[in-house]
Homo-oligomer: A and B are copies of this chain.
Amino acid sequence: MGQVITFGEVLMRISPWGNKKFIQSNVAEFFFGGTELNVGISIARFGGQVKHISAVSNDFIGETAISYINKFGVDTSSIVRSKRPLGVYFLEVGAVMRPSTISYNRSHSSFSEIQPNMVNWQEALNNGAWLHWTGITPALSKHAFHILKEGLILAKEKGMTVSADPTYRNGLWNYGIDAKDALVELLELSTVFIGGINEINEVLGTNYGYSNDDFIEASKALMEAFPSIEKVFDKIRTSLNSSWHKIRARMYNGKEFKETIDLDITHIVDRIGTGDAFAAGLIYGLQRFDDCKAMKFASAACALKHTYEGDVNLATVNEVTAILNGNTSGRLHR
């Protein structure tokens, strides 16, 4: 049950209290996050061994980011410091039909401007059993992309499991590389695909629909195109509005298709990082359970994340397992 390695940007999140806009306030809360870090911290909360690799600023903000990660017991020994500032994102939290809105200040951040010699993969992957990446990292800069690819190559050599969450994020990919080409290169080095129809259509250039049959066909096509990929896991979100979602999951592992029931999240506290909570639940689960139970664990973890403030799922294994077992009535624990 070796170490899970995550590699990606650490962002500082700054948002006014409650549903206020910045124009209404002079006080803000701050958290730290970043899609891959969120996965790492969540797995550490479950009790897994995790190391996060990143580049943060060489000032008191970077120090605070590292201390935030330390707090959750994630190994920060491979995080480097640089002269560039830490990436920041500002969030205004919506409600009902008002969407939450994010504004980024990350394009010249310490991570976007990471340099090739900053990551020593040999050392970093020393105890690594699993490497997780997302589509955000290669979208940030050429160096970020190449460093990631370098890590995946080594991970493959070492026989590590590689999970890919190839989310395509509009607004990034501004440094002159074709998103699809880059994602294809990285998927060829990956073994677990965390994504749905949109992501598959994106990398295959196909046009599958959203039905379960389409999902199975799309997964098969993906596995054919990327023979290293063994399993596909998809999380499906139904949004009544900003405050009320339903979550379910489905999977195809080459042998069988499975899906979960809907979990009804009637009063969302914070939906940032819920996809990362799914990925974390999945990784933790696949290291310990069969595929179907891992998917259910991931789905329960994702649903639970909607009830925590901040970017990170703070639930424990017991808490996720209770939801997985259908215990969703929220009875007070004394």
A residues adjacent to B (C-beta < 8 A): 14, 18-31, 57, 59-61, 63-64, 67-68, 70-73, 85-86, 88, 90, 92, 94-105, 107-108, 169-171, 239-244, 263-269, 271-272, 303-304, 306-310, 314-315, 319, 323, 328-334
Contacts and interface: CB of A to CB of B under 8 A. Distances in A.
A168 to B, nearest CB: 12
A145 B125 CA distance: 44
23 contacts: A14-B14, A14-B28, A19-B307, A21-B308, A23-B63, A24-B314, A27-B29, A28-B29, A68-B71, A70-B71, A85-B88, A85-B105, A96-B328, A96-B330, A97-B323, A101-B333, A239-B330, A240-B329, A241-B330, A242-B330, A243-B266, A244-B266, A267-B267
Nearest to A323: B97
Nearest to A31: B26
Nearest to A305: B98
Nearest to A107: B108
A115 to B, nearest CB: 16
Given A60-B92, A97-B323, A333 B28 contact: no
A241 B73 contact: no
Contacts of A268: 96
Closest 10 CB pairs of A and B: A242-B330, A85-B105, A59-B103, A98-B307, A97-B328, A22-B64, A243-B267, A95-B307, A239-B329, A108-B108
Contacts of A319: 98
A332 B99 contact: yes
A67 B22 CA distance: 10
B85 A309 contact: no
A2 B101 CA distance: 32
A70 B240 CA distance: 37
A330 B99 contact: yes
B307 A94 contact: yes
Given A22-B61, A23-B67, A28-B29, 6 more contacts: A14-B14, A23-B60, A26-B26, A57-B103, A60-B90, A240-B266
Contacts of A59: 90, 103
A16 to B, nearest CB: 9
Contacts of A264: 241
A334 B169 contact: yes
A56 to B, nearest CB: 12
Which among A85, A97, A243, A307 has the highest number of chain B CB atoms within 10 Å? A97
A101 B322 CA distance: 14
A24 B307 contact: no
Given A97-B304, A98-B315, A170 B241 contact: no
Contacts of A101: 60, 332-334
A42 to B, nearest CB: 13
